[in-house]
């Protein structure tokens, strides 16, 4: 399983006239009209056959090209957002055991957890796929970015791999609605301004007000 880490126009020769003098004009052999018609039909059929053969040949080549240059196929199945104490996150998501290297007050404080599953096909082992996590808030019916996107990466352990991944955000103001956006980028174009290979968003999650 993949592991996640945060963060020609050519010159023409002289033109030749299409006209010939009566002396040089070639003589055609005698062919009946019926024979001519059959020859024309046969030539047309041969031409059509050649065109079809060319289409199928080119089509096969194009298909082969796409299959070989298709590149990795990435999919994000789901994105979930929830709040929980840091201690709970460490135990259930990071699979850590005490002692934790945090202060007791930090362990009991809530964090906002993003969980998502990504699947990869046709990728070589050892490739690192960058991802961006963005926290959005709903304001007046619009999704507004809360803070700068969080950068991380997935490290493929095998050619076809998947990742059950998670990251945390500091807890934003309570009593508001939030959602997380996941964007998995091309390893050769990791910038957030590039077109992602796959992206998905969570449902809106209302962070309960303080009790």
Q: Name, of 14-28, 85-99, 185-199, the range with top average pLDDT.
A: 85-99
Q: Give the per-residue pLDDT at 193.
A: 79
Tens-digit pLDDT profile for residues 62-114: 222 223 356 678 999 899 999 999 999 999 999 999 999 999 999 999 999 99
Among 15-29, 39-53, 73-87, the least confident range: 15-29
DSSP string, the chain: --EEE---PPPP-----S---TTTPPPPPP--HHHHHHHHHHHHHHHHHHHHHHHHHHHHHHHHHHHHS---EEEEEEEEEEEEEHHHHHHHTS---SSPSS-HHHHHSEEEEEEEEEEEES--TT-EEEEEEEEEEEETTEEEE-SPPEEEEEE-SSSSEEEEEEEEEE---SSSEEEEEEEEPBTTB-STTSPPSEEEEPPPEE-PPP-
Task: Report pTM.
Answer: 0.64
Tens-digit pLDDT profile for residues 126-165: 888 999 999 999 999 999 999 889 998 888 888 888 888 9
């Amino acid at each position: 399983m993949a592991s996640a880490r945060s963060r020609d126009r050519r010159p023409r020769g002289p033109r030749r006239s299409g006209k010939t003098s009566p002396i040089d004009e070639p003589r055609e052999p005698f062919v009946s009209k019926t024979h001519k018609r059959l020859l024309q039909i046969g030539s047309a059929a041969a031409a059509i056959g050649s065109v079809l053969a060319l289409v199928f040949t080119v089509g096969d080549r194009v298909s082969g090209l796409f299959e070989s240059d298709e590149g990795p196929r990435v999919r994000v199945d789901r994105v979930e957002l929830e709040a929980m104490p840091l201690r709970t996150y460490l135990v259930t998501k990071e699979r850590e055991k005490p002692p934790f290297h945090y202060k007791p007050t930090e362990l009991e404080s809530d964090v906002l957890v993003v969980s998502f599953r990504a699947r990869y096909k046709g990728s070589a082992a050892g490739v690192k796929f960058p991802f961006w996590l963005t926290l959005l808030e709903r304001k007046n019916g619009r999704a507004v970015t809360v803070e700068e996107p969080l950068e991380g990466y997935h490290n493929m352990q095998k050619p076809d791999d998947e990742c059950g991944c998670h990251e945390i955000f500091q807890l934003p103001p309570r009593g508001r609605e939030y959602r997380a956006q996941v964007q998995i980028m091309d390893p050769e174009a990791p910038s957030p301004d590039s077109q992602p290979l796959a992206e998905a968003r969570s449902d809106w999650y209302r962070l309960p007000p303080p009790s």
